[in-house]
Amino acid sequence: MNEGSGVMAEAIVVGAGVVGASIAFHLAERGVDTLVLDREGPAAGSTARSGALVRAHYPTELETSLAWESLTEYFEPWGDRVGGGCGFTRTGFAYLADGENEEALRHNVAMQREIGVETNLVTPHDLREIDPALSMSGVTLGAYEPRGGYADPTATAVGFLRAAESLGARFERQRVTGILERGGEVRGVRANEGDVESPVVVLAAGAWSVPIAGSVGLDLPIHPARVRVALFERPYSLPTHLTIIDTVEGFYARPTAERATLVGSRSSLEWLGDPDEQDVDPDADFIEKASRMVCRRIPAMEGAPYRSGRSGVLDMTPDGRPILGPEGPEGLFLAAGWSGTGFKKAPAVGAEVARWVVDGAPKRPEMEGYDLGRFEEGRLIRGDYEYGVRTPH
């Protein structure tokens, strides 16, 4: 080791977003001396800009299982399980489909129910009874999760990190620039204040994981992309509404605690050459499109004033799924490439990664298929019934 900070730990987690904070919490619960390193404060990167929807609707069994465990064993009983508050608010969640996605919706809801998710197929008439504020134009079928909703992304990450610290974990604001190895084994990380020794490093730094992994010869197919959301002030006549993913109009929306409605769309993705490219507020074109989409689905939002907006950087992979587990030198674990779907699964993912580190394997063996090698070997992860989401118009 070179001269450095002299800090040592049994495990280093790089990244203090919601995934890294959850991993640190679960490692600390297992008695592992854990050090979390991040170049900024907790939740300062992508997490703080997450849409933070909480739902279990996915087209694969693994994603569904992780999201459902996160909802029922963490978000709902947060105060008892983790401590403090995460801002979870149950609004009910609806997934809206037209004829193009109807068959996939039927199959996916059946799969989710087999896993134990409380979800049902609902007709447009059913949805109007659940939430009279919704227009059902173009919708032929929906899925409804009464226990779904949203949480506060920053409070969730900070809550995990504080709980980890109460169990003995430590947090330091340091920029990690590389991984140290010797003889095919991890020896720690190189940071701006010097080398830090550890036999285990968990890389959970989103798009910023790429150059760090590259220091030990790993080429991560993670590409940064900017995504935008806009917040519109709700009228007093609309105190709240369902959290929705609308594949007909091509957007998602949820209420916020400040009497606003958050609207986002994956069609707003802007590929970046560098995740550190200057952050920009949503432009007028996106704001106008977001307003038009939400007003078509929630007519009471017509004329709702634009309050604010933000953008965040997603860590996109070719199949939209993360890279998980041991890679490269012994002792290195990856938990990056979430492609905008990490928040609602982060609690259960943290438990699984900690189990992987300590016990040598996750509880869910299918997670081992989320390895880096799948991209070169053509094992991209797809659900049996994936959805086609329309581009907003």
Tens-digit pLDDT profile for residues 254-266:
999 889 999 999 8
Q: For tokens 């919601």, name the residue.
A: 18
Whether the predicted pLDDT of 312 surpasses 90: no
Whole-number Å distance between alpha carbons of 51 and 261? 11
pLDDT at res. 1: 30
pLDDT at res. 390: 58
For the chain, how many helices (H) and strands (E)? 10, 21
Q: What's the pLDDT tens digit per position in 378-392?
A: 999 999 999 986 555
> Per 3-state DSSP, what percentage of the chain is helix, strand, and coil (rounded to 5)?
35, 25, 40
Whether the predicted pLDDT of 3 surpasses 50: no
Q: What is the mean pLDDT of the chain?
A: 94
Dihedral of the alpha carbons of 346, 352, 355, 360, in degrees to the nearest 10: -130
Whether the predicted pLDDT of 189 surpasses 70: yes
Whether the predicted pLDDT of 4 surpasses 50: no
Whole-number Å distance between alpha carbons of 373 and 324? 11
Domains belonging to the chain, first-starting first, are: 1-88+148-222+318-393 (3.50.50.60), 89-147+224-316 (3.30.9.10)
Whole-number Å distance between alpha carbons of 15 and 175? 10
Whole-number Å distance between alpha carbons of 66 and 118? 14
- Contact in structure between 19 and 204 (CB atoms under 8 Å): yes
Q: What's the pLDDT tens digit per position in 316-372?
A: 999 999 999 999 999 999 999 999 999 999 999 999 999 999 999 999 999 999 999
pLDDT at res. 267: 78
Q: What's the pLDDT tens digit per position in 360-377?
A: 999 999 999 999 999 999
In this structure, what token pair is assigned to residue 372? 């880096």
> What is the spatial order of strands in the sheet that 53-54 belongs to?
53-54, 149-150, 89-90
pLDDT at res. 13: 98
pLDDT at res. 43: 75
Q: What's the pLDDT tens digit per position in 47-83?
A: 777 889 999 999 999 999 999 999 999 999 999 999 9
108 three-class SS: helix
Half-sphere exposure of 95 (CA within 13 A, CB side): 23
Identify the weakest region by mean pLDDT among 33-37, 198-202, 389-393: 389-393
- Contact in structure between 244 and 131 (CB atoms under 8 Å): no
Q: What are phi and psi of 253, to 5 degrees?
A: -155, 150
The β-bridge relationship of strands 185-191 and 194-197 is: antiparallel
The β-bridge relationship of strands 270-271 and 201-203 is: unpaired
